[in-house]
Homo-oligomer: A and B are copies of this chain.
């Protein structure tokens, strides 16, 4: 079954759905999943359609030509994506392996539909985790090397799997909407370093993790997903780190899955996640 995803952002207006679905129907496309969202504050409209072309001769190029005038009329930013094409996802890691190992396993077992062309790290330590999967492991010294590798691989997504260096502003801008980080706290609580230490000192009863797009504002990019786990006075800082690792890897892989399936639309500091 060949599926396509039609992603649209435009100013809200009357008749968008009618015109869009009219073109799809004319092109013999079958809408199998549909999501809309009208933002009351910004008067923007967001849309994601999954279109099946399996039972009918839906042709993406033909659709694109027919659709262009409609897109123009409503001033749309749009794309039609083939959901059978694997996106390229680079993983960045440092010395902590739980997120990396989780992503590699999920990819290997078919749970995460993408291609992983390489893993990049500022340390050699995690190569042995990557090696059995036959994926290149690049140890880099600085962000000049990182930039080169990103240019070379042309990734659709860069997963910061507990990568402990701050991405320079120029790279943030160049790859905006593609770099996804896992922050080991429930943002906006405990911004910055050592969040579990801060959480322990403050005596919170839940600790969390936040998956978000990377922007120049550290830990303030649009949030894709978050989750928490319950703790009590009994948990030491080490226990919090251990419990936190499970939340981190769950939230990161979930956020990446949404991104890879084109379910996340960014609107300035916020996301629309179509589930």
Complex contact A234–B37 (CB within 8 A):
yes
Q: Measured between C-beta atoms, what is the minimum distance from A108 to chain B in Å?
A: 9
Please indicate the chain B residues that have their CB under 8 angstroms from the CB of A101 in the complex: 105, 109
Please indicate the chain B residues that have their CB under 8 angstroms from the CB of A201 in the complex: 269
Contact (A233, B202) CB under 8 Å given A14-B30, A18-B25, A189-B189? no
Complex contact A38–B28 (CB within 8 A):
no
Complex contact A233–B33 (CB within 8 A):
no
**Nearest B residue to A236, CB-CB:** B40
Cα-based distance from A226 to B207 in the complex (angstroms): 10
Q: Measured between C-beta atoms, what is the minimum distance from A256 to chain B in Å?
A: 14
Category for how many chain A residues contact B: 35 or more
- Kindly list the 6 A-B residue pairs having the minimum CB-CB distance in the complex, ordered from nearest: A203-B270, A18-B25, A15-B25, A18-B21, A17-B21, A34-B36
New contact pairs (8) apart from A16-B31, A206-B208, CB-CB < 8 Å? A14-B30, A17-B17, A18-B26, A37-B234, A98-B109, A186-B206, A204-B226, A233-B273
Residues of A within 8 A of B (CB): 14-19, 21-22, 24-26, 28-40, 55-56, 97-98, 101, 105, 109, 111, 128, 132, 186-190, 201-206, 208, 222-228, 232-234, 236, 242, 245-246, 250, 269-273, 275
